[in-house]
Structure formats: structure tokens, C-alpha cells
Amino acid sequence: MLARALVGGDPARAPPILRRYGCAGCHTIPGIPGADGQVGGSLSGIKHRVYVGGIAPHSPDTLVRWIVSPQELSPRSAMPATGISEAEARDVVAYLYSR
């Protein structure tokens, strides 16, 4: 699978990770029941976006970095640092890229 090769994550592990860290409370996430949050942007089609968080040129590694530590890229970001690990973020990115 291309998504797995790009980021080294397993998309099958992502749904419970997305729930555990509260991602669904802020974002609409394709394929995740109840993930209809309106605080953050929809994560649908994120692999086609030019920027991560509206500020950093998009790449799989930048998206992983954003998920793990958004304030590192944008100190005033409203997205919280959730405590998600880099490995878990790679699973999430692989999932989002597979959608």
C-alpha cells in the first residue's frame, strides 16, 4: 500500500488512535463514525493539500510532525499537543493518505 510506504505507518491501527486522542472531537474524519467535529478543518483529502496547518509546505513527514507537536510549527496554533507518539502519528497519516 502506497500510504504505508510513504510514512511507515499502518492505516488499520489509526481508528482507535484517532478516538483515543480526541481527534474526532475537532475534525471531520472520513471513515470514522461520529468524527464530525467542526473546530478544526475536515481531514478529507488532506494528502492533496499544499500546506499543513496552513503554514508549512505539505509532506508526509511534516504532517506527522504537525500531529505530534503543532506548536513547534505554529506557536499560536489552536491545535493541542495531545501526547500522541510519532509512531501513532505515522499510523494516522497512513490512514488519512489511504482515504
Q: Given pLDDT bands bounded at 50, 70 and 90, which one contains residue 1? A: low
C-alpha distances (whole Å) from 6 to each of 52, 64, 83, 90, 94 are 16, 11, 23, 9, 8
What is the C-alpha separation between 77 and 37, in angstroms, rounded? 17
Show the CA angle centred on residue 43, arms to residues 62 and 51, nearest 5°.
40
Kindly report the pTM of this predicted structure.
0.93
Average pLDDT, stretch 5-31? 94
Confidence of residue 79 (pLDDT cuts 50, 70, 90): very high
In DSSP terms, which residues pair with 28 in a beta bridge?
36
Check residue 51 and report its DSSP letter. Answer: E
CATH number listed for the domain at residues 2-97: 1.10.760.10
Query: Do residues 76 and 63 lie in contact, with contact meaning Cβ atoms separated by under 8 Å?
Result: no
